[in-house]
């Protein structure tokens, strides 16, 4: 299975509630926090909603 490494690049201050909730659901919360997720359509949809706040890297196994 492919994996995705997410790094939060920007703060969620002054962002809508739904974007704050999405960042929290992804396991992030502060700039420079990182999290690895399995690449699923659900995770991709969440990333699409907050792409301006995160950096996405694909991890090859």
Confidence class for position 5, pLDDT limits 50, 70, 90: very high
Flag whether pLDDT at 61 surpasses 80.
no
Q: Residue 12: its pLDDT value, please? A: 97
Cα(45)–Cα(55) distance, rounded to whole angstroms? 14
Fold of 3-59: Ribosomal Protein L30; Chain: A, (3.30.1390)
CA-wise closest residue to 31 among 57, 58, 4, 7 = 7
All structural domains of the chain with their residue ranges: 3-59
Confidence class for position 60, pLDDT limits 50, 70, 90: confident
Average pLDDT, the chain: 96
pLDDT tens-digit readout, 31-52: 999 999 999 999 999 999 999 9
């Amino acid at each position: 299975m492919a994996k995705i490494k997410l790094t939060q690049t920007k703060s969620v201050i002054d962002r809508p509630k739904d974007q704050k909730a999405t960042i929290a659901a992804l396991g992030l919360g502060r700039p420079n926090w990182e999290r690895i997720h399995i690449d699923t359509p659900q995770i991709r949809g969440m990333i699409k909603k907050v792409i301006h706040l995160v950096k996405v890297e694909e991890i090859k196994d």
